[in-house]
Structure formats: C-alpha cells, structure tokens
A = this chain, B = another copy of it.
C-alpha cells in the first residue's frame, strides 16, 4: 500500500506526528503537498472527492479511504505498521493517549494564539503572555507529569509496554517543547526522566535518526505549532 499524506508544506505541524509513524515503519508514502503543492489538498477540503470530508489537514489517503484527524490516522496506521502492541486494551490506550497529546498540542498552539488563529501573534501578545504563564505554571507540568506516570506504569504490566506510535508522538512533543520553551523545559528536567529517556531512545531508532538527518525533516519555525518567542518562555 502506498499511502498519500496531505499536509501544509513549510511546517512540521500536526502532519509531523503522522510522518514520524510512516518514517519509523519505513512505509511507502508520498508527501503529496511537498511534491505537488498546496492545491492538491483542495478537492478533498471542498468535498469534491469521495470518502470522508476532512475538517482540516492532515489527512491520509489509503486506497479508497480518506482519513482525517491525527489521532484517527494513527489509530488506523498503528496496527498496519506494527506501531501498537496487539490487543484491544493496548489499541484503546494508544488512541486515548494520542487524543490527550492532541489536546495538549492545542494548548501549546494557544500560548501564541489565545484570542484568534486568524490574527497574528503580534496582535495578541498581551493575552499570549498571560496564557503562556498559566501554560508553563500549570498545564505543562500537568501534561508532562501525566505522560511520565503513564511511562512509569507502562514498565510494569500495563498495555503500552512496547514501542508504539505514541512514543513517536511523545518524542515530537518533547522536541517541540524544547524548541519553544527551553527555559521552562529545563525547569521540568528532573521531573520527567522517563519521558527524556523515551525521547532519546526514539531519536536513535535507525529510521528516525536517518529521517531527522534528512531534508524531509523541516526545522521548527515560527509558523508552526511550537514557536520560540522568548517573551512566552520563563526567564533563563
């Protein structure tokens, strides 16, 4: 099966969570927009194509199926790419964790866009500073502390004890947070040893390491979800 991934070019964004799964598994896929331009997505978003109507990219075409929403795409790909342990409990746990990651990603985005996605960051700086502070003080420790605990329990007999697409997404989350909030992440350092070890392990997987060195991996930048605005990070 040759998968077709559709996502905005120029940013890692939500597409990156899917891309990491395809790359880790060595799947056969085309990154359609990078090859053919943004307009390739339009017939799908307009509803001119058969199959599911995506609300927004990323979406995946797999044969005749059109699948949107990162967590749904990964729920679909997981068993097919060997990226989730077998069994219903593990699959459901992975889906739930991926949706929690998706929720967290919205909160990361909203640190720089607390008022309106349609306006520039510069138009909502003051609200952004307040939201970013609440994010650093409350949400960042809450979410990362949660994932740390999930990994801790996973070392025992819990469902997610083996490599999965969730690990890849947690790597991406930690990488993006390191880029966007280097000081706040340094403050978190000794509270997330297992999450750090997991991210390190993921970065050294052969296919991921090769991908990260390749030109297919875009750099983080100030157009994406994880943006480095020093005013939104803690003091160094």
Contact = CB atoms under 8 A, between A and B. Distances in A.
A204 interface: no
Interface string A18-53: 000000000000000000000000000001001111
Given A110-B110, A115-B114, A134-B118, A67 B53 contact: no
Given A53-B150, A153-B47, A96 B116 contact: no
Main secondary structure of the interface of A (DSSP, over half): helix
Interface stretch (A4-12, A85-93, A191-199, A224-232): A85-93
A223 interface: no
Q: Closest 5 A-B residue pairs measured CB to CB?
A: A116-B134, A69-B99, A69-B96, A52-B93, A72-B96
Contacts of A64: 89
A170 interface: no
Nearest to A123: B130
A159 to B, nearest CB: 7
A68 interface: yes
A65 interface: yes
